Amino acid sequence: MAKSAISFVCQNCGAAYNRWQGKCESCGEWNTLVEEDITGAATMPVSIRSKRKGRLFALETLTGKSNDAPRLPSGMAELDRVTGGGFVRGSVLLVGGDPGIGKSTLLTQATSLLARAGHRAVYISGEEAVAQVRLRAERLGLADTPVQLAAETSVEDIVSTLSEGAAPRLIVIDSIQTMWTDTVESAPGTVTQVRASAQALIRFAKKSGAAIILVGHVTKDGQIAGPRVVEHMVDAVLSFEGEGSQQFRILRAVKNRFGPTDEIGVFEMTGLGLREVSNPSELFLSERDLGSPGTAVFAGIEGTRPVLVELQALVAPTTLGTPRRAVVGWDPSRLSMVLAVLEAHCAVKLSGYDVYLNVAGGLRIQEPAADLAAAAALVSSLVNAPLPTDAVYFGEISLSGAVRPVAQTSARLKEAAKLGFGRAVLPESARGETGGDSGLVLNTVSGLTNLVAEIAARGNPRGNRQANPDEYREHLPEKEHLPEKKHLPENLPEKNATPARFRREGR
């Protein structure tokens, strides 16, 4: 009989230790070590382990004919876009997201559509009773679909039940943290149980050819809970994102062995479930506040789909010793870089202002092409100069202040023209990639200085806003376009206390 072995396993990364300690040395997290019984084959004496010889297998060359993996369309175009065209037979997908974001709703709709198409679809719930799942299906209007439903947490019982009869085409396990197997003695939800349960379900998927979707919990920082080894075991990892105050939901592929990892699916949460959004640009721009300073429309690319979204910036004088920098939907490090370039190369002093930047609609932007739109929105808010309502912006800003080209310029311009925009501000070196058939007026910029000067020339100080267009006079190509000094309030205070100012005051 195997001797009992106790180990302390980190619930974040899966590292094991012989004794308890407050901090995991592998991932650096605190208070994540849990005592687990790891009795098993690894602790058995070598004398009683299996000593069978390995079997021979054939080796093949790199050349040869390869067939595309057969796929099963889910019936939801946005879900199929993210997965790469549908579910691959024998594949295992891991879906993660915040509680209440709509994971169960999405998978209930997907299984119902497959069941209506004549495929065997099974929904196994480990968190809810059968009656609760039925209530959700009734609310979504899917109670009449032939989905096979069960509330079970034993992996052995699930595999034995699903092995009877025809193999299912799609199996949903909600969630993997509630599953447990007899092969290990740890409590459900621990690293050992999650790893062993996922491994047993993956073996069943490869053997039967059924596609399995595992629902995973997420931690407070948005990462899928449990050991990271589970993400390496599955074929695809999907992240369901969205803000609780917004009705938009974004399904993003983090890992996909059978498809792209940069595609997104856009859904809208309604009273009847998730509705697919075929044109996300129109949805994100539906509530624009036209003519307001600090707003710019960014023409971005998510996978193969162009997406237009509004960037909102607010620059306000600070009362704190250290100005605040708050970002929603964009990389904070990217904002810090843009602010540094504006101050170093464009004479825009923002050290005395709080800066807030928001991506409208709950979308998270990851590409650096949003630099130009963010810079335009920041300067527009600083000098109180509304940007043209029919203009879109895209371009990457380098540390030298130059505006660099980005990929898929033609697709961005075509999407902007389709939504009624009339002009585009883009890098000068990207003019040859426009295709010439977009129908937009192209305003190319080679450096950020020219764009800042153009926006500052239209500025109108308001309230206690300390914006002085004279700071940008030297950057304008034609000085007569600047407002005259007589239009500015007299005795306008300076933004920064410089040594020259102290000398003028006789200090």
User: Using H for helix, E for strand and C for coil, what is the string for 54-103?
Assistant: CCCCCCCCCCCCCCCCCEECCCCHHHHHHHCCCEECCCEEEEEECCCCCH
Q: How far apart are CA 8 and CA 1, in angstroms?
A: 22
Residues 6+ apart with CB under 8 A from 266: 78, 248, 249, 250, 251, 276, 277, 280, 283
Tokens read off for 369: 């092409």
**Residue 416 per-residue DSSP state:** H
Q: How far apart are CA 501 and CA 168, in angstroms?
A: 78
Q: What's the pLDDT at 370? A: 95
Q: How far is CA 462 from CA 94, 113, 314, 381, 489, in A?
A: 52, 56, 14, 11, 10
| Count of C-beta atoms within a 10 Å radius of residue 179 | 25
Helix (H) or strand (E) holding 412, with range, is helix 409-418
Q: What's the pLDDT at 493? A: 43
Tokens read off for 59: 């080796």
Q: What's the pLDDT at 155? A: 95
Q: How far apart are CA 249 and CA 275, in angstroms?
A: 10
- Please answer whether residues 140 and 109 qualify as being in contact, where contact means their C-beta atoms are separated by less than 8 angstroms: yes
Sign of CA dihedral 167, 169, 173, 176: positive
- Please answer whether residues 453 and 472 qualify as being in contact, where contact means their C-beta atoms are separated by less than 8 angstroms: yes
Among candidate residues 336, 362, 191, the one with its CA nearest the CA of residue 267: 362
Helix (H) or strand (E) holding 414, with range, is helix 409-418
Q: How far apart are CA 56 and CA 158, in angstroms?
A: 33
Q: What's the pLDDT at 438? A: 67
What interhelical angle do 371-383 and 332-345 show, nearest 10?
60
Torsion angle of the four alpha carbons 331, 218, 205, 60, in this order, in degrees rounded to the nearest 10 = 40
- Under DSSP, is residue 453 helix (H, G, I), strand (E, B) or coil? helix
CA angle 128, 129, 132 (to 5 degrees): 80
Q: How far apart are CA 192 and CA 12, in angstroms?
A: 12
- Under DSSP, is residue 377 helix (H, G, I), strand (E, B) or coil? helix
Q: Is 381 exposed, middle or buried (0-12, 13-18, 19+ CB in 10 A)?
A: buried
Q: How far is CA 192 from CA 41, 148, 174, 445, 459, in A?
A: 14, 29, 18, 56, 61
Residues 6+ apart with CB under 8 A from 164: none
Give φ, ψ of 324 to 5 degrees: -85, 145
Strand 236-241 to strand 92-97: parallel, antiparallel, or no bridges (unpaired)?
A: parallel
Among candidate residues 180, 177, 232, 185, the one with its CA nearest the CA of residue 43: 185
pLDDT tens over the chain, length 507 residues: 455 567 888 877 778 888 899 998 888 888 888 887 665 544 444 444 455 677 888 888 888 776 656 889 999 999 999 999 999 999 999 999 888 889 999 999 999 999 999 999 999 999 999 999 999 999 999 999 999 999 999 999 999 999 998 999 999 999 898 999 998 888 888 888 888 999 999 999 999 999 999 998 876 666 665 557 788 899 999 999 887 667 888 999 989 999 888 888 999 998 889 999 888 888 788 778 788 899 999 999 988 889 999 999 999 999 888 899 999 999 999 999 999 999 999 989 898 999 999 998 878 898 999 999 999 999 999 999 999 999 999 999 999 999 998 998 999 999 999 888 999 999 988 776 665 556 789 999 999 999 999 999 887 765 444 445 454 444 344 434 444 444 444 444 444 433 443 344 444
| Chain centre distance of CA 362 | 10
Categorise residue 352: left if φ over 0, alpha if ψ from -120 to 50, beta otherwise: alpha
Q: What's the pLDDT at 480? A: 40
Among candidate residues 488, 407, 410, the one with its CA nearest the CA of residue 442: 410
Among candidate residues 333, 229, 171, the one with its CA nearest the CA of residue 11: 229
Helical residues (DSSP H) of 66-215, grouped into ranges: 77-83, 103-116, 130-139, 155-162, 191-208
Q: How far apart are CA 380 and CA 294, in angstroms?
A: 5
pLDDT tens for 353-384 read 999 999 988 788 989 999 999 999 999 999 99
- Please answer whether residues 236 and 128 qualify as being in contact, where contact means their C-beta atoms are separated by less than 8 angstroms: no
- Under DSSP, is residue 261 helix (H, G, I), strand (E, B) or coil? coil
Q: What's the pLDDT at 276? A: 92
Q: What's the pLDDT at 494? A: 42
| Chain centre distance of CA 143 | 32
